[in-house]
């Protein structure tokens, strides 16, 4: 039995989903923990409620719906394109102390017209909220992780640094810390003299052998920790990254990019001007961005509601492109949030790459807004 009451507008919400031809799907409350621990990101990992099966397998209470819906789609071997809707409880620690609450949303799997699917996700989120909150002025903030990745790659940083920066996208505190480390590198210290020497000599075979010998001598099991090969690889990567310095010109390019903040109608021109001025080739990423803006306009979405922020991201690691949030104008409460997650289905075991985009609605926050109307 639910511990909290289902919002009284749930029937209206389900009608909205049905009108958008999104098939209702349910998923178990108890979920395998591994996908959330491996894929969802640090922000969610530290807030989920863990348990174990009788056989010792790690389980958790359902902390969100996107991963369970994708897993159910893979298990059912249903073809794509496919649109799913969901409504149910999720369980995770929140700062306001409400650890159990209702979420609903739509996941759009397999539509190869990415721009159109992105526009539909934003349009559906705005349209549903407009129906649930008549007369309220909504605002939408969007970002694009793919554009940020293109900027980082065009600067020619080592792959390890690219991964670090991309992983931190949307978390400005973490991103600024990483950029500070790039501008003023902190060299690796505290290594065993023997390890430091072998890393410096780039003698990987000897390094692996020494790490293995040390692990055996100290009783560390490779089953309970990283293998000697993985430790050696990480040590080498850490040394390379610690010696990388971002020159002042590249640093200012990244700073300039992350400061971009404007109405979406001006964003395409601003991004093109930025790329030209910085001498960066961002062709494919900018073409996809422009295509999405055109698709939003063609879908009848009011572009004046939407603001583009280059530094905007969402705290889930599986996003790959578009990210967005919807609020009531003047409020800081996020009522809907989502984005594109084209790699997630493959990570979860799908045999073929399946493009995907979706959004979630926070029903308790919507209920608060309705009560305040």
3-state secondary structure string, the chain?
A: CCCCCCCCCHHHHHHHHHHCCCEECCCCCEEECHHHHHHHCHHHHCCCCEEECCCCCEEEECCCCHHHHHHHHHHHCCCCCEEEEEEEEEECCCCCCCCEEEEEEEEEECCCCHHHHHHHHHHHHHHHHHHHCCCCCEEEEEEEHHHHHHHHHHCCCCHHHHHHHHHCCCCHHHHHHHHHHHHCCCCCCCCCHHHHHHHHHCCHHHHHHHHHHHHHHHCCCCCCCCCHHHHHHHHHHHHHHHCCCCCHHHHHHHHHHHCCEEEHHHHHHHHHHHHHHHCCCCHHHHHHHHHHHHHHHHCCCCHHHEEEECCCCCCCCCCCCEEEEEEECCCCCEEEEEEECCCHHHHCCCCCCCCEEEEEEEHHHHHHHHHHC
Tell me, what's the pLDDT at 3? Answer: 56
Query: Is the overall model pTM greater than 0.85, yes or no?
Result: no
Tell me, what's the pLDDT at 244? Answer: 62
* Exposure class string for 169-206: b at 16+ Cβ within 10 A, else e: bbbeeebeebbebbeeeeeeeeeeeebeebbeeeeeee
Q: Where do the domains of the chain lie, and which CATH numbers do they carry? A: 10-146+322-372 (3.30.930.10), 193-242 (no CATH)
Distance CA 280, CA 337 (A): 30
pLDDT by 10s per residue, the chain, length 373: 455 688 899 999 999 999 999 999 999 999 999 999 888 877 788 889 999 898 889 999 999 999 999 999 999 988 889 999 999 999 998 877 778 999 999 999 999 999 999 999 999 999 999 999 999 999 999 999 999 999 999 998 878 788 888 888 988 888 888 888 777 655 555 556 666 666 666 667 777 777 777 777 776 654 445 677 777 666 665 665 565 677 788 889 999 999 999 999 999 999 999 999 999 999 899 999 999 999 999 999 999 999 999 999 987 889 999 999 999 999 999 999 999 999 999 999 999 999 999 999 999 999 999 998 7
Tell me, what's the pLDDT at 206? Answer: 76
Closest by CA to 281, choosing from 157, 155, 159, 154, is 154
* Exposure class string for 68-91: b at 16+ Cβ within 10 A, else e: bbbbbbbeeeeebebbbbbbbbbb
Tell me, what's the pLDDT at 224? Answer: 46
Tell me, what's the pLDDT at 61? Answer: 95
Helix axes 10-19, 114-132, angle to 10 degrees: 150
The answer for residues whose C-beta is within 8 angstroms of residue 44's C-beta and 6 or more apart is 36, 63, 64, 92, 315, 316
């Amino acid at each position: 039995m639910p511990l909290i009451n289902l919002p009284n507008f749930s029937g209206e919400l389900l009608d909205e989903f049905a009108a958008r031809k999104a098939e209702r799907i349910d998923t178990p409350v108890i979920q395998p923990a591994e996908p959330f621990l491996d894929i969802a990101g640090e922000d969610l990992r530290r807030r989920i409620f863990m348990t174990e099966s009788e056989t010792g397998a790690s389980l958790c209470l359902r902390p969100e719906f996107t991963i369970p819906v994708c897993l159910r789609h893979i298990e059912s071997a249903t073809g794509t394109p496919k649109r799913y809707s969901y409504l149910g409880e999720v369980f995770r620690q929140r700062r306001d102390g409400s650890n159990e609450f209702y979420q609903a949303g739509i996941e759009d799997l397999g539509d190869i017209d990415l721009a159109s699917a992105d526009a539909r996700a934003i349009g559906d989120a705005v349209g549903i909220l407009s129906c649930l909150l008549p007369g309220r002025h909504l605002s939408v903030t969007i970002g694009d992780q793919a554009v940020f990745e293109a900027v980082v790659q065009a600067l020619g940083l080592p792959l390890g640094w690219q991964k670090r920066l991309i992983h931190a996208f949307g978390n400005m505190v973490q991103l600024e810390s990483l950029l500070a480390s790039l501008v003023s590198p902190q060299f690796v210290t505290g290594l065993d003299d023997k390890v430091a020497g072998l890393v410096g000599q780039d003698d990987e075979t000897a390094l692996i052998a020494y790490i293995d010998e040390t692990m055996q001598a100290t009783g560390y099991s490779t089953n309970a920790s990283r293998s000697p090969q993985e430790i050696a690889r990480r040590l080498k990567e850490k040394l390379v990254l610690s010696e990388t310095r971002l020159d002042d010109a590249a640093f200012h390019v990244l700073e300039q990019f992350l400061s971009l903040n404007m109405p979406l109608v001006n964003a395409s021109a601003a991004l093109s001007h930025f790329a030209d001025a910085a001498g960066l080739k961002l062709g494919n990423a900018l073409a996809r961005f422009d295509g999405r803006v055109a698709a939003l306009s063609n879908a009848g979405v009011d572009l004046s509601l939407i603001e583009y922020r280059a530094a905007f991201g969402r705290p889930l690691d599986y996003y790959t492109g578009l990210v967005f949030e919807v609020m009531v104008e003047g409020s800081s409460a996020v009522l809907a949030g989502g984005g594109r997650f084209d790699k997630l289905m493959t990570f979860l075991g799908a045999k073929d790459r399946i493009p995907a985009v979706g959004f979630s609605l926070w029903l308790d926050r919507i209920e608060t807004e309705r009560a305040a109307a």
